[in-house]
């Protein structure tokens, strides 16, 4: 079987920014898939692999979903990738000013650009955040449900729920919630340690491995 080669762009906010080629390679080992991720400089491992992925990460810390949407063509589509892995919404949630309707509108713009340009979108939801109060986490659950429903309207697009990989129950929170970050993956209540980023990458690969092998 011929070795597959794919271009994959990762974009979004700081949670996506931490998803480096090293993080994905470690996650691929955990997931048991024979895929190697290299960076734009061509550094890679090619031993007994089914697919070589050129990974381009254009995520930017602090960016809102509006910012991600406004730069999506330049920072994702222009690389002509087969797949885009994208997140967004954490900073909007913390700012607590964006409406639910606007959240969905900006995401629809991103997904439409992917469909119009023959790109498969892999969207991962707003992650657990120990530092966010209960009211924002309830809103997060609503937004993630909205986003999952929106993604499902696009043939072949994938929504990834990372909660079961990195989240844990918060006492006094909603029923069966996974609002807090597991201590072993938590950096500051919002961001993730290297191990946490690898678990997020693991969740993504579990959902999209059929696109790579």
Task: Note the pLDDT tens digit of each residue in 86-122.
Answer: 999 999 999 999 999 999 999 999 999 999 999 999 9
Average pLDDT over residues 170-181: 96
Domains of the chain (ranges, CATH numbers): 4-211 (3.40.50.1110)
Residue written as token pair 């967004």: 88
**Is-contact 86 121, C-beta < 8 A?**
yes
pTM for the complete prediction? 0.95
| pLDDT tens string 41-54 | 544 455 578 899 99
Helices (H), 79-155: 90-95, 100-116, 134-151
Name residues whose C-beta falls within 8 Å of residue 155's C-beta, 6 or more positions apart in sequence.
none
Q: Which residue has the higher pLDDT, 144 or 2?
A: 144
Alpha carbons 11 and 34: distance in angstroms, whole number: 23
Q: According to the model, what pLDDT value does residue 49 have?
A: 86
């Amino acid at each position: 079987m011929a070795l597959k080669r794919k271009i994959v762009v990762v974009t979004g906010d700081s949670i996506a920014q931490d998803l480096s080629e090293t993080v994905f390679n470690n996650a691929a080992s955990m997931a048991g898939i024979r895929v190697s991720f290299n960076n734009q400089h061509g550094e890679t491992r090619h031993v007994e692999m089914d697919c070589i992925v050129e990974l381009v990460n254009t995520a930017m810390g602090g960016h809102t979903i509006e910012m991600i949407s406004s730069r999506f063509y330049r920072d994702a589509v222009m690389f002509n990738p087969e797949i885009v892995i994208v997140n967004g919404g954490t900073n909007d949630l913390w700012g607590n000013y964006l409406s639910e309707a606007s959240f969905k509108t900006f995401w629809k713009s991103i997904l439409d650009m992917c469909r119009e340009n023959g790109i498969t979108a892999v969207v991962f939801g707003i992650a657990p955040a120990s530092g966010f109060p209960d009211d924002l986490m309830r809103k997060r659950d609503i937004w993630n449900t909205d986003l999952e429903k929106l993604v499902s309207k696009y043939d072949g697009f994938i929504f990834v729920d990372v909660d079961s990989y990195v989240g844990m129950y918060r006492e006094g929170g909603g029923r069966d919630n996974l609002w807090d970050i597991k201590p072993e993956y938590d950096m500051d209540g919002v961001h993730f340690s290297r191990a946490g980023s690898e678990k997020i990458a693991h969740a993504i690969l579990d959902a999209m491995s059929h696109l790579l092998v």
